[in-house]
Amino acid sequence: MKLSPAKSIRGSVTVPGDKSISHRSVMLGSIARGTTEIHGFLEGADCLSTISCFRHMGVDIENKNGVVTVHGKGLRGLSAPSAPLDCGNSGTTTRLISGILAAQDFSAVLTGDASIQKRPMGRVMKPLREMGASIEGRDDNFCPLTMHPSELHGIEYRLPVASAQLKSAILLAGLYAEGQTTVIEPAPSRDHTERMFRALGVEIETNGNVITLEPPEDLHAVDIAVPADISSAAFFLVAGAIVPGSELTIRNVGVNPTRTGILDVLRSMGADITESNFRDDAEPVCDLTVRHSRLHGTEIGGAIIPRLIDELPVIAVAAAFAEGETVIRDAQELKVKESNRIAAMVAELTKAGVD
């Protein structure tokens, strides 16, 4: 692939569906009672791994003409898989399904590719064990994870880091637990799980950084429209901001406040971004228009990091085109993603002449 500089970037684009919401829609649709139609599902390998795992637990899932239809089995209707569940390269699949499997009346093994088998799972195993789960892992921290039948009880758990995956694993286990489950976050992380719970009839309350869940009798299926993924839109936002003469609209983007740190940071750097056609149906959605502007450096760290953790690599690209110095702190989570994304950005931007 050979790229040449663009004179400008103009027009409109629709990016693929939100990855986080796509994962959760299949998971919750599978354990809800009734049929869930998912529109805008992200047809990426990670989300397809989630579909595969639930098919292996007896859930009938159709994927036709851009619509995924999940025929839910109810909260306690999953079946024992006949082989290990392969999560591929998906950390979201691995960690969130752990919360569901911890409460089942059958044993199951979770595994994935070589990358997944190096990613830490101990931080998920710890609270699930406190809830009564029986989990074994390689070196007590890595996949394959083996889950044995357990009866869970609710706990109050203070997260060591702001992590939507860890929070969601605990809340998913809380669906099956006896008594109330409470999670306390050090800073707000993406809240797609809580929003989808409410849509499915689960009694869940958020008070600041404290989330409290009452276990339901069952979940009731609803159709889900997946908005365009702001993590994918981020690349177009940066492109429009840094290429002179550009004006670009990205349509139907999910602008959940727990995910819009990228907009806050780009605007703090001087980017010209406007929102239009706003609507709110479980998840807030709008069209984003970006126009070229002169960017300047900024400092990024603290509570905003969980709201833009996946966008930090492309923010580094914006920083390379901005006047002055940009400093990013508290981004250590990027070291334990599918790759060490900090090292990757340093290596590749250095090749392009960036300091």
* Residues marked as catalytic: 310
Asked if 171 and 131 count as a contact pair (C-beta separation under 8 A), the reply is no
Rg of the chain over Cα atoms, rounded to whole angstroms, equals 21
Among 173, 178, 171, CA closest to 198:
171
- Contact residues for 313 (Cβ-Cβ < 8 A; gap 6+): 334, 341, 344, 345
Cis-peptide, bond into residue 16, ω within 30° of zero: no
Distance CA 316, CA 325 (A): 11
Question: Would you say 78 and 55 are in contact if contact means Cβ atoms under 8 Å apart?
Answer: no
Contact 299, 322 (CB under 8 A): no
**Residue 235, CA distances (Å) to 49, 252, 314 in order:** 25, 15, 6
Cα–Cα distance between 62 and 125 in angstroms, integer?
Answer: 32
170 near 163, Cβ under 8 Å? no
Cβ(284)–Cβ(255) under 8 Å?
A: yes
